[in-house]
């Protein structure tokens, strides 16, 4: 069923059938990816969440208009469940810096890739926010108190408790609330890329390309001095 729908889109876009369709490994979501081999070779995507798909489709177009390196979407189904996008190959930043990750000694080529990638983050956050309709952001438009506490508790349950690290939960929750309060004091209309990590960056022709840009919100920021105060308060406890 999925491959048939993707094949229809491919024919509509190119005028001919793909030579072969191969499913790619999943990547931590319910979206399924397929490589449609032919001239050209494209990536087909099937996603159950229409809202999430529309967020990605909107942002892919918006970011490309701003000159940001994101995959191009060529065609979508009428219901926005299926779409075809640019095939960026198989080279992840995560794999490209494997030697440095394993040895903690990064070569110059690895450092250059990391520098290029880090430089893209403020471009996405600020240039990407220009003219953006934040109502498309998924799962919500604003990174509010609930969102902050979601992320902080993810750290608690998926790192602290998962590793068996000893901590005082009531004090940790107090610190979480203080951090949330500080974050909410100052808001700015910037785009927040919430999953910026090496598995979501692909390397094409030696340049990093941002992937997975659909989890986003308007962004809250705080100063170095405010962070120092939070750290000092935590040390006193």
CA distance 13 to 84: 9
Tell me, what's the pLDDT at 211?
67
Q: How many CB atoms lie within 10 A of CB 197?
A: 11
Contact in structure between 33 and 24 (CB atoms under 8 Å) = yes
Strands of the 82-86 sheet, one edge to the other: 20-23, 32-37, 42-46, 82-86, 73-76
- From 218, 193, 219, select the one nearest 69 (Cα to Cα): 193
- 149-196 confidence digits (pLDDT tens): 998 999 999 999 999 889 999 999 999 999 999 888 866 678 888 788
Q: What is the pTM of this model?
A: 0.79
Look at 8-22, 32-46, 161-175, 180-194 and tell me which has the smallest mean pLDDT: 180-194
| Domains delineated in the chain | 2-86 (3.30.200.20), 93-236 (3.90.1200)
Residue 28's pLDDT band, with cuts at 50, 70 and 90, is: low
Element (H, E) at 196: none
Look at 141 and 103; give whichever has higher pLDDT. Answer: 103
Q: Which two tokens stand for residue 32?
A: 């399924």
H/E segment holding residue 127: none
How many angstroms separate the Cα of 21 from the Cα of each of 9, 43, 128, 170, 225? Answer: 13, 9, 33, 52, 53
Query: What H or E segment, with its residue span, contains residue 205?
Result: none
CA–CA dist 189, 193 (Å, integer): 13
Q: Label the pairing between strands 42-46 and 82-86.
A: antiparallel
Among 95-109, 142-156, 191-205, 210-224, which stretch is predicted with the lowest mean pLDDT?
210-224
- Whether 11 has a pLDDT exceeding 60, the answer reads yes
* Cβ-Cβ contacts under 8 Å for 18 (sequence gap 6 or more): 7, 10, 36, 37, 38, 42
Please report which helix (H) or strand (E) contains residue 112, including its range: helix 108-122
Query: For 38-62, what is the mean pLDDT?
Result: 95
């Amino acid at each position: 069923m999925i491959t048939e729908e993707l094949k229809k889109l491919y024919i509509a876009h190119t005028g001919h059938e793909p030579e072969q369709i191969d499913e790619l490994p999943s990547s931590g979501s319910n979206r399924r990816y397929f490589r449609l081999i032919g001239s050209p070779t494209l990536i087909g995507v099937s996603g159950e969440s229409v809202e999430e798909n529309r967020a990605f489709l909107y942002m892919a177009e918006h970011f490309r208009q701003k000159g940001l390196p994101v995959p191009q979407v060529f065609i979508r189904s009428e219901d926005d469940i299926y779409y075809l996008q640019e095939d960026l190959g198989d080279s992840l930043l995560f794999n490209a810096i494997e030697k440095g990750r394993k040895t903690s000694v990064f070569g110059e080529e690895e450092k250059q890739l990391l520098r290029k990638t880090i430089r893209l983050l403020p471009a996405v956050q600020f240039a990407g926010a220009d003219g953006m309709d934040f109502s498309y952001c998924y799962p919500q438009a604003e990174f509010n108190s609930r969102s902050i506490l979601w992320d902080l508790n993810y750290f608690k349950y998926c790192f602290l408790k998962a590793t068996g690290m000893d901590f005082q939960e009531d004090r940790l929750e107090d610190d979480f609330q203080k951090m949330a309060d500080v974050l909410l004091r100052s808001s700015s209309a910037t785009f927040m890329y919430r999953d910026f990590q090496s598995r979501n960056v692909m390397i094409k022709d030696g340049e990093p390309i941002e992937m997975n840009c659909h989890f986003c919100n308007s962004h809250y920021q705080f100063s170095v001095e405010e962070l120092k105060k939070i750290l000092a308060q935590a040390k006193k406890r």
